[in-house]
Structure 1
Amino acid sequence: MFKSLKLIALLSLSISAATQASSLTLSSNDIAQGEFMSKTQEFDGFGCNGDDLSPHLKWSNAPKGTKSFAITAYDPDAPTGSGWWHWQIVNIPANVSELATGAGSTTKNLAPKGSFQVANDYGSKGFGGACPPAGHGVHRYRFTVYALSVEKLDLPKGASGALAGFMINTNTIESSTIESLYKRK
């Protein structure tokens, strides 16, 4: 009996370790969990004067069945009643696992071939950096990669952030987030 219980415990630990080892993981050379972003990721406009560059993002351990990826950057602390979409890029091919700093440019074509950048809440298609209202305190910025079960999200060219978010969430197998901070000086 003791040997059987010991074997079951070892198998449970092995399965648990294997499950943890295969979890989708997001990392970055530019941003970190719970740390403040630099002016590199600050918007250039609306009274802000940053470099407006999307951060480097790299992900690994995509789950079985992943056919594409999506990335979002969202500020839940924006005083809008619905947060603020800073970036939504969808239809990233399944063989892509990294985006360079600036890949979300609204003026240069640096996003992966086949991907589609949804208009952010500034009104441009691509990344729009942090720019919380002056005196509003610290805001959280959630950069999330989603492993999707479909090759392509069928979104109209003028899709809203809410529609893109719905389609992303409907087709997500697994996701991973880095939550960075920013405070306007």
Structure 2
Amino acid sequence: MGFRLSKIYTRTGDAGETGLADGRRVPKDHPRVEAMGELDSLNSQLGLLLAGLAEHEVMWPGLSEVIDVLTPCQHRLFDLGGELAMPQYQALNQAEVARLEAAIDLWNEELGPLENFILPGGSLLVAQAHVCRAQARAAERRCQQLNAIEPLGGVGLAYVNRLSDLLFVAARLIGRRMQINEVLWQAAPKPE
């Protein structure tokens, strides 16, 4: 593979526009660029979660499975960003969505039903998994906003939706395997 970037700065975006891979120039706040940016933020947060999991997997070997499932997600998010940059390009397929669903189903068997609302917390890793989940929801909203004006093909929307579900279940699983209690939501007292 040749060099992808020979220069980091090009000055072509200084006027508030950016180029897409199909040759179009669009404003940097265009819904397509916003969606790409949210996916990039999610990918960065997921990288932070994976780094934290890697630091702790020696002490809690059960985290290796979570790493194995989540690591390919960074690559697929990059692929999805490519789909947004090149609207005719399709990298993701239904098998990727099915892979996430299989992990959700497997992990939910171990976790059992959720009996109460839970808060993002208990440990840094659990909280970071929830940050990723929330970022996935934000990316999904941005992709849906784009889809409303420029319909998206492929399975990208389903993938991001399922990824947010997976991250919620992963947060619970990380806590369980690290023997950390879930932080249960406590409703505000009713006014008298």
TM-score (norm 2): 0.23
TM-score (norm 1): 0.24
Report the structure, 1 or 2, having the larger strand content. Answer: 1
Report the structure, 1 or 2, having the larger helix content. Answer: 2
